[in-house]
Amino acid sequence: MSVDQEPRDLPGADQPNGRGKTAALAALALGIGGYVAAAVALSRRRESARASMHDSAPGRTARRARFGGYSVVGRTVTIRKPRQELYDYWRDFANLPRFMESVKEVAVEGDLTRWTIAAPAGRTVSVETRIVEDRPGELIAWRSTEGSDIDTEGRVHFKDARGGRGTEVEAIIAYKPPAGELGRLIATLFQSEPALQGRRELKRLKMLMETGEIATSRNHRERTEGDTP
């Protein structure tokens, strides 16, 4: 997942305004950090050399951004809880299926985590990730291992929110489905509306953390397909 693998697909190669090129340069400069690192870097306020970037918005909000064939989705949500508490909750990966609807199971073995993710047509997809960075109270980053169905990396960042409003939780995920039938399956699973999925998940996390429950309009305990009964 380094930039060299797919130089033609560099972000914004087709963008005339220079913003995308800057993203590409940033990705190159960051090299081994990979695309998430590039996306995260771009999400920081404009610091120095990237003078041709005209604003301080996160790179992923560029009108067109591609990170070497990877799709990058990211979303920030502010949660009224201290960041250590949110970090601790997330770091215990067994908690994640509570608010990530498509994650069916999480098994942790040492620094490896195996995720079972529901896919269309009753199939499941398996992803194994390794933690690549872990800063308590601040950040967790992971990357998929060779044996995964999806080539993916991601990180979640916890920052104190302005004005004592709690914590800004920023999650960024880059992924590239494999070729073939499984790839198409995964593409429908994630690429249909990956941003949508991500933002729903963060909102559920927020509900759980702030209110102790996840809002639903269902009037019955047993899970039914679709909407209100």
Rounded to a whole number of angstroms, the minimum distance from the CB of residue 193 to another protein is 9
Are the C-beta atoms of 202 and 86 separated by less than 8 Å?
A: no
**Cα-based torsion angle of the residue sequence 78, 84, 118, 110 in order, rounded to the nearest 10 degrees:** 160
Q: 36-46 burial, b for 16+ CB within 10 Å, e for fewer?
A: bbbbbbbbeee
Which two tokens mark 178?
């494999």
Rounded to a whole number of angstroms, the minimum distance from the CB of residue 217 to another protein is 4
Looking at beta carbons only, is 77 or 117 nearer to another protein? 77
Rounded to a whole number of angstroms, the minimum distance from the CB of residue 32 to another protein is 35
Looking at beta carbons only, is 40 or 169 nearer to another protein? 169
Rounded to a whole number of angstroms, the minimum distance from the CB of residue 177 to another protein is 23
Nearest Cα residue to 23 out of 43, 8, 5 = 43
Looking at beta carbons only, is 54 or 165 nearer to another protein? 165
Binding site for another protein (CB under 8 A): 78, 80, 165-166, 196, 199-201, 203-204, 206-207, 210-221, 227-229
Cα separation, 190 vs 149, in Å, equals: 13
Looking at beta carbons only, is 77 or 141 nearer to another protein? 77
